[in-house]
Amino acid sequence: MRNPPLSQTVIRGAVHSPRPHDSAARQAAGDALYIDDIAEAKNLLHLYVAQSEKAHARIVRMNLDAVRAAPGVVTVLTARDVPGENDASPIAGDDPVFAEDIVEYAGQSLFAVAADSLAQARTAAKLAIVEYEALPAIVTIDEALAAESFVLPSREMRRGNAAKAIRKAKHRLKQHFAIGGQDHFYLEGQIALALPGEDGDIFLHSSTQHPTEVQHNVAKFLNLPDHAITVEVRRMGGGFGGKETQGAWFACIAALATRLTGRPAKLRLDRDDDMIMTGKRHDFTVTVEMGFDDDGRVSGAEFTFASRCGRSVDLSASINDRAMFHADNCYYFENVTIISHRCKTHTVSNTAFRGFGGPQGMLAPERMMDAIACYLDKDPLAVRKINLYGKDRRNITPYQMEVSDNIAPEIIADLEKSANYANRRAAIRAFNQGSPYLKKGIALTPVKFGISFTATHMNQAGALLHIYTDGSVMINHGGTEMGQGLYIKVAQVVAEVLQIDIERVKITATRTDKVPNTSPTAASSGADLNGKAAEAAALTLKRRLTDFAATHYVVDPSEVHFLPNRIRVGKRTIAFRDLVQQAYMARISLSATGFYRTPKIHYDPQSYSGRPFYYFAYGAAVSEVIIDTLTGENKVIAVDILHDAGQSLNPAIDLGQIEGGYIQGLGWLTTEELFFDGKGILKTHAPSTYKIPACSDRPEHFNMQIFARGKNAEETIFRSKAVGEPPFMLAISAFNAIADAISSVTDYKAYPDLDAPATPERVLLAVDRLRQRAHASKAGAK
Amino acid sequence: MTSYRQRIKYIHHGRIVELGAVDPTMTLLNYLRYEKALTGTKEGCAEGDCGACTVVLGEAGEDGIRYQAVNACIQFLPTIDGKELITVEDLKDEDGALHPVQQAMVEANATQCGFCTPGFVMSIFADMHNGATTDRQHIDDVLAGNLCRCTGYGPIVEAARNIAGAGTKDHFHEREGETLSLLKRLAAEDTLHFTWQGRHYYAPDTVEELADILDRHPDATLVAGATDVGLWITKQHRTLPVVVYLGKVTALQKITQTAEGLLIGAGVTYSAAWPTLSDFHPDLGELVRRIASTQIRNCGTIGGNIANGSPIGDMPPALIALNSRLRVRSKAGVREIPLEEFFIDYGKQDLREGEFVETVFIPVPAVGAHFATYKISKRFDQDISALCGAMSLYLEKSIVADIRICFGGMAGTPKRATTVETALIGKSWDTATLDIALNRMGEDYAPLSDMRASREYRLLAAKNLLRKFLIETTDSGTATRIVGVKGIAHA
């Protein structure tokens, strides 16, 4: 209902109340518009991007005559047609929109065809004559390390002397493993729609988490001022980091077609092109060594991370930094060295993906906790507990930030109890005794995730709030909606501050001409930053209305109170809309901007020291799995989660993030395998070959709770916490549970080597290796 | 000569819609989105794997209308001829109120980015009209063909469960009689055949007509569910000069059960065959459950699965282990061959010009015979096998009297492990014999490494599946399966 009766007691849509997603009804009805759903203009141009077939090659010849002459073709766009800079990178200037003379991955864009239909554009593109001179391609991390091929210099973070501490420790363990990448598999692929405006201006619909960067990149690409380009994003059909930087070049291509022809132009990648052309989660190799005492207390830890960044820098600096920032997870390592190599390979340039390096970093200590426990024949949870950050001591991270809000011990204790961890662990061991082929495993792993962009300047946001004379409100802010529920959360903030029902608040599409110079909706920061900016705008208008009411009715401002949908002014009560009307008549401005910058954060990226994060979000999960030791097939059969959302702005939305994050993390660690052949060609580029979790992968036993005592120690928006990324890492418990089940084949005497994702193949081979090792050591003992 | 009808007729919004000649391979999804501007139905993958394009087709069934969810992205528009089309836009009431399924999705917080939502709505809607239950396994099977990247599925399962539990009725129930009479009217129409830009579309009604058309057009592409051929269009962008749709050939849609075995028409869909195959052997039922998704099983046929000659073959390994026979027909007549002989080499089948697969016959196994089939894939549901094995064993006093072992994914075709079989026959069915026989598996198979699995894994897992079969046939008390009817993680 568009104008439901106003509530009198408590407003509808207050903060901390569960509300459905703002678009839920429209999405279910099929009415929610995504960019490809916008009615097509009659003269719309359709674009197709031709791609390199080689991972690394010099383009010797590119003859496009036949392409230009093909039916329906209006224009063909190449690097030579770019009026400005042929680049769509976020930072480094190394992401050419169209290849110039060298191609550096299979799938890199060569040229684009604009035609009257997509079929014509695609057919024409195939007529190109492209000759390559093959150059040696570096595909894997190991090849890159051997060739010392890096996109950025290697970095090191250290405290104390880890090597010495490990040497002097009573026990030492070393693990080496590989972690696969992950495709975002947002259901809506990359898309941009450019519309011509007056004076050569261009209006762009772009499915992007970073409209400002798209605007700036398109302007630079077309050699136009930023003000000539307006970017709008109403919603994305999923983002997950995959639309933080990747949308810009498709927007550039669409905008160029419009610029050159004066016609609207649409570029939509189909699934295969999307998966081949765009960046993914970085795959990593990890070597980690720890020294520890009889209790499992770690005295020294050395980590060496190497990641596959692909052909360009993109966001790899911050992503690899974040991996380093999370190599401690919840644990205090007195002496620690963390080395990070950022490998250049001739594969697609990897990019942001939920967790942003954090998950890869965190998997290392979590596997070590289990390996140590296995070595010492202890419960892994006991080893974890003994290594947790302390409250007053042992509370400084490797990057010199004090962990001042540590609630990991409480969350772990609560979950251990509610999930009945100890009894289930015992029951599983008993089950495994009696089950020769199917084995169960269990693990409880915690998460501590740093909240803030580590690039400090990005921690800012703006909002724009209008109150119309009927008392209805329009809110706009720099955050984008990709399904995470940001819009409803920010609307709840506005409703709360102004004490009006949420139906009175209209959430409008994110646009660069409403709120400029925004940061990407990323790093879980959307609600923290934009909620605060919207609150600031709402408080400004509330103050104006308060002052107006006080003046108009001659009372002290302290006697003006905002009640649900009305205002008490002294002894009288006035409907919100009436006061607004009166304020308008009195020529009070009913429009305001709001701005927010995250306080307290500071950090020196050279020395890796300071306070990169405003606060930490915590959580923990227990996963129980079963594996088939004859085939390696595996399945999660029970999940229990306790997660910290501070004082949740919207528990319904946050539970959705928690569950969705866990399942997405589960896919990363189990079924989702990116397979590049030896020549660097991606062979898994559609859902027929790339398997994200399906419905049945979500166990029936899936208990999740928001930590009831959660309250942000910092003054965040209504003391809530960011919740987009942290739950993703709860799925590490599933990976560790699989390792626990594998370990059972040696009666828990040995801990398995296991790379991620734990496909049936990797699990079976791990089981086999472990059995052979046990067999060999038995034979040796004889 | 048959008199042909040239206009496509289908039912939408309770009315018959007529279309002149169209591109015979235009997908239903592109028609909806770009011709009709009905953009509620989404494209997520264009290969029938994500379900964002799910729509529902209604056909006259034995007791009322049978509503089936299908993937619009790979269905060819002309194949909806004679059916009722329902898209997400059609669900709301006339007054704009959400359909109960849509409302349930909203109330369960089952939408996030919303792009997959219409597809889920349509899958649950179809299920609601097909006797939905609240059983988790059932819901998983209904939704296996719909991918959601945001929610983790819990809220969607909750919505499906709420709908199933409520015994919900909607406006499609109200107008069922009316729709049924329209469907019957369309069923009485002449055979559809049209030509568009020199390309032909035929939808014959009888095998004789079909044989005639193939005789005239040896280059014709036969299409039943289009679950494979659809991808020739959406992924390979091929142009097909002649398309012959098999969905109207009623003789091909029959399953006949006799004391000797099961005779399955080549046009029988997986969904239609599922109950019978489950009764025949629970492992066959479980195999069908694991093949693709509801949407694909509603279209894909067992005959098509055989005729396309996939090296993995979802059904063929099991059918070969069961000693099935294939009947092919052409204008010249029919011939019968053992199914295993049909698969000559990678991409090459024993199908001569003008021939089509007519039936497959599965003989009833001997009394006391053992049979099992296993599928290994990265994901349990809706995934293509890395390997798929089937074994059929007949013991005489624990001596192997006969054994047939067939694997998919281990060679260029579904292939029997004849060396291993020979090494087992006449021997005692035990671990020692099996270990010796398995040492020779490398003589039967030299599998490839690809994105689904390595050669090393395929060989090891194939051996282990035989070990599993030995365990299951000799020690029935031990748990060996994670999923399925005998699975200990059975939902």
Query: Quick check: B149 and A238 CB within 8 A?
Result: yes
Full strand arrangement of the beta sheet holding B15-19: B15-19, B8-12, B84-86, B54-61, B64-71
Query: Quick check: B147 and A662 CB within 8 A?
Result: no
CA angle B390, B394, B395 (to 5 degrees): 130
Which chain B residue has its CA at the smallest distance from A766's CA?
Answer: B457
Here the tokens at position A491 are 């609307």
CB-CB contact of A632 with A759 (8 Å): yes
HEC-encoded secondary structure of B103-144: HHHHHCCCCCCCCCHHHHHHHHHHHHCCCCCCCHHHHHHHHC
Q: Which residues of A touch B44 (CB under 8 A)?
A: 187-188, 271, 687
> What is the second-level CATH architecture of the domain B370-474?
2-Layer Sandwich (3.30)
Number of domains in chain A: 2
A690 inside domain: yes
B102 and A CB contact within 8 Å = yes
Chain A interface disruption, residue of B111, B120, B125, B448, most A CBs within 10 A: B111
Which chain B residue has its CA at the smallest distance from A682's CA?
Answer: B451
Distance from CA of B143 to the nearest CA of A (A): 6
d(CA A153, CA A606): 12
The average pLDDT across A668-674 equals 98
Same domain? For A684 and A712 the reply is yes
Same domain? For A551 and A634 the reply is no
| CATH 3.30.390.50 domain locations along chain B | 370-474
Beta bridge mates, B59: B66
Distance from CA of A606 to the nearest CA of B (A): 36
Confidence of residue A757 (pLDDT cuts 50, 70, 90): very high
Per DSSP, B455 falls in state: H
CB-CB contact of B79 with B233 (8 Å): no
Here the tokens at position A691 are 């398997």
Domain of residue A498: give its range: 24-32+460-597
| CATH 1.10.150.120 domain locations along chain B | 92-169
Query: Quick check: A660 and B374 CB within 8 A?
Result: no
The amino acid at A238? G
A211 inside domain: no
Same domain? For A511 and A569 the reply is yes
Same domain? For A478 and A497 the reply is yes
3-state secondary structure of A162: helix
Nearest 5°: phi and psi at A357?
A: 95, -25
| Contact residues, A window 618-637, toward B, CB-based 8 Å cutoff | 626-628, 630-635, 637
| CATH 3.10.20.30 domain locations along chain B | 4-89+175-245
CB-CB contact of B149 with B119 (8 Å): no
| Contact residues, B window 350-409, toward A, CB-based 8 Å cutoff | 374, 376-384, 386
Q: ipTM, 2 decimals?
A: 0.98
Which chain B residue has its CA at the smallest distance from A624's CA?
Answer: B489
Residues of chain B with pLDDT under 50: 491
- Concerning whether A725 is annotated as a catalytic residue, the answer is yes
Q: Is the pLDDT of residue A780 over 70?
A: no
B180 and A CB contact within 8 Å = no
CB-CB contact of A228 with A198 (8 Å): no
Distance from CA of B423 to the nearest CA of A (A): 22
Full strand arrangement of the beta sheet holding A572-575: A560-563, A566-569, A572-575
A122 and B CB contact within 8 Å = yes
pLDDT at residue number B491: 45
Q: Is the pLDDT of residue A332 over 60?
A: yes
CA angle B140, B484, B433 (to 5 degrees): 155
Domain end: A551, A566, A597, which one?
A597
Nearest to B307 by CA among B263, B233, B260, B360: B360
Distance from CA of A601 to the nearest CA of B (A): 31
A17 inside domain: no
Which chain B residue has its CA at the smallest distance from A185's CA?
Answer: B149
Q: Which residues of B touch A240 (CB under 8 A)?
A: 149
Same domain? For A533 and A638 the reply is no
Query: Quick check: A29 and B50 CB within 8 A?
Result: no
B140 and A CB contact within 8 Å = yes
pLDDT at residue number B103: 98
Distance from CA of B297 to the nearest CA of A (A): 15
Q: Which residues of B touch A37 (CB under 8 A)?
A: 33, 39
Query: Quick check: B464 and A633 CB within 8 A?
Result: no
Here the tokens at position B217 are 């057009």
Q: Which residues of B touch A696 (CB under 8 A)?
A: 137, 140, 144, 380-381, 483, 491
Chain A interface disruption, residue of B23, B45, B295, most A CBs within 10 A: B45
Inter-chain Cβ pairs, chain A and chain B, closer than 8 A: 279
What are the residue ranges of helices labelled H in A699-759? 732-743
d(CA A148, CA A138): 11
Chain B interface disruption, residue of A38, A187, A639, A659, most B CBs within 10 A: A187
Query: Quick check: A628 and B155 CB within 8 A?
Result: no
Same domain? For A571 and A652 the reply is no
B46 and A CB contact within 8 Å = yes
Cis peptide before A365 (omega within 30 of 0): no
pLDDT digits (tens, 9 = 90+) for A158-215: 999 999 999 999 999 999 999 999 999 999 999 999 999 999 999 999 999 999 999 9
Same domain? For A540 and A674 the reply is no
| Contact residues, B window 188-217, toward A, CB-based 8 Å cutoff | none
Beta bridge mates, A448: A618
Nearest to B268 by CA among B251, B281, B282: B251
Out of A692, A764, A765, the one facing B147 most closely (by C-beta) is A692
Select which of A188, A289, A624, A725 is catalytic: A725
pLDDT at residue number B119: 98
A512 inside domain: yes
The amino acid at A496? E
Same domain? For A731 and A656 the reply is yes
Same domain? For A506 and A636 the reply is no
Query: Quick check: B381 and A687 CB within 8 A?
Result: no
pLDDT at residue number B157: 98
A698 and B CB contact within 8 Å = yes
A270 inside domain: no
Per-residue burial over A732-750, b if 16 or more Cβ lie within 10 Å, else e, is: bbbbbbbbbbbbbbbeeeb
CA atoms within 13 A on the CB side of A110: 29
pLDDT at residue number A317: 97
Nearest to B295 by CA among A33, A687, A700, A702: A687
What CATH fold (topology level) applies to the domain B92-169?
DNA polymerase; domain 1 (1.10.150)
CB-CB contact of B14 with B202 (8 Å): no
Same domain? For A627 and A491 the reply is no
A514 and B CB contact within 8 Å = no
A696 and B CB contact within 8 Å = yes
Out of B115, B143, B157, the one facing A237 most closely (by C-beta) is B115
Here the tokens at position A525 are 């920061």
Here the tokens at position B240 are 């097909």
Beta bridge mates, A704: A641
> What's A723's domain CATH number?
3.30.365.10
CB-CB contact of A394 with A160 (8 Å): no
d(CA B371, CA B382): 23
pTM of the predicted model as reported, rounded to 2 decimal places: 0.98
pLDDT at residue number B2: 62
pLDDT at residue number B486: 79
Domain end: A565, A597, A629, which one?
A597
Same domain? For A588 and A618 the reply is no
| Contact residues, A window 555-574, toward B, CB-based 8 Å cutoff | none
User: Can you identify the CATH homologous superfamily of domain B4-89+175-245?
Assistant: Beta-grasp domain (3.10.20.30)
d(CA B349, CA B330): 15
Taking 3-state DSSP, the helix, strand and coil percentages for chain B, each rounded to the nearest 5, stand at 35, 25, 40
Query: Quick check: A637 and B461 CB within 8 A?
Result: no
A392 inside domain: no
Distance from CA of B140 to the nearest CA of A (A): 5
3-state secondary structure of A336: strand
pLDDT digits (tens, 9 = 90+) for A92-125: 999 999 999 999 999 999 999 999 999 999 999 9
A445 inside domain: yes
The full length of chain B comes to 491
